[in-house]
A and B are shown apart, each in its own frame.
Chain A
Amino acid sequence: MLLNQFLLLGAVLFSIGVYGVLARRNGVLVLLSIELILNAVNINLVAFGTYTGSISGQVFALFVIAIAAAEVGVGLAIVLMIYRNRQSIDLDELSSMKG
């Protein structure tokens, strides 16, 4: 197997995740897209770890998973707060600036 195939897979996943972050209106869906990005990064880390024979790649991937879990927890709590305050999690409506 080529190294490149995993890296390219990660790149594609990353781009799709970026599109999702920018294009979705619902807050929860944005968080989902962020998960895609994190997974792409994980693929990269493990691929490089395997390529160089160092265990650090996997270790960091583990850390990323843990952090992603934490981030989702807090992120959803925030979304919940927003819903409570504004009765909607529509990101378009969240802006109060009159620009």
Chain B
Amino acid sequence: MSVAATFAAVFAADLDVAQNVFFAMLALATIVGAIGVVTTTNVVHAALWLVVVLSSVGANFLLMGAEFVGVTQILVYVGAIVVLFLFGTMLTRAPIGKDPTVDNRSWYLGLVVAVPLLAILSYVLIDAFDDTELPSDNVQRTAEVSDSIFGQYLMPFEAIGLLLTATLIGAIVLARKE
């Protein structure tokens, strides 16, 4: 199946045009932001482009009906992790402003690997999930998520808690001044 046919199918479907339009916008934002992250020469700008990507992904989650995950994404990623990155940038005295030496000597290797990777992934996905549609009323409530977390996946949940504790302690131990 070709990519064009996929797009054709998208517009031929009698689904909410609004959903599709929104998706197109979000996808565009995500991709532009991602490319921005990996190409910009300014480290701080890279972090800010990451915010764009993260927010779009969060919106995508909402679009898919995963409300709790979407909100968590914004809270955790945008709210905490990006801040962490900015602190890290500050503490490691990254040059503020443009830095021409921000790319690798052999950056072309990245292209050599990423493009075929993308090609294969796309081929496989189109080949496998041609026309399958997502069910339309597919909002999954937070209540279901909490039921699952505290029921079936209680153990991994607790383990994650332990992991975070360990990480906290580990990071403190690693980073403290002697």
Contact = CB atoms under 8 A, between A and B. Distances in A.
A and B touch in the complex (CB under 8 A): yes
Interface of A: 1-9, 11-29, 31-33, 35-36, 39, 42-43, 46-47, 49-51, 53, 55-59, 61-63, 65-74, 76-81, 83, 89-92
A50 B72 contact: no
Contacts of B109: 22-23
A39 B6 CA distance: 24
17 contacts: A8-B122, A13-B31, A14-B118, A20-B37, A22-B104, A23-B38, A25-B104, A32-B85, A35-B50, A42-B57, A50-B138, A61-B61, A67-B163, A69-B77, A76-B171, A77-B175, A80-B174
B163 A22 contact: no
A28 B147 CA distance: 37
B171 A73 contact: yes
B81 A23 contact: no
Contacts of B140: 49-50, 55, 58
**From DSSP, what is the main secondary structure of chain B's interface residues?**
helix
A13 to B, nearest CB: 6
B16 to A, nearest CB: 8
10 nearest A-B residue pairs (beta carbon): A22-B110, A23-B110, A20-B38, A23-B107, A15-B118, A70-B167, A19-B114, A77-B174, A11-B121, A76-B88
Nearest to B112: A22
A51 B72 CA distance: 21
Interface string B10-40: 1001010001100100010011001101100
B50 to A, nearest CB: 5
Contacts of B23: 1, 5
A55 B148 contact: yes
Contact-residue size bin, chain B (C-beta under 8 Å from the other chain): 35 or more
A91 B104 contact: yes
B37 A13 contact: no
Nearest to B123: A11
A50 B77 CA distance: 22
B172 to A, nearest CB: 8
Contacts of B30: 9, 13
B105 A92 contact: yes
A20 B149 CA distance: 33
A46 to B, nearest CB: 5
Contacts of B118: 11-12, 14-15
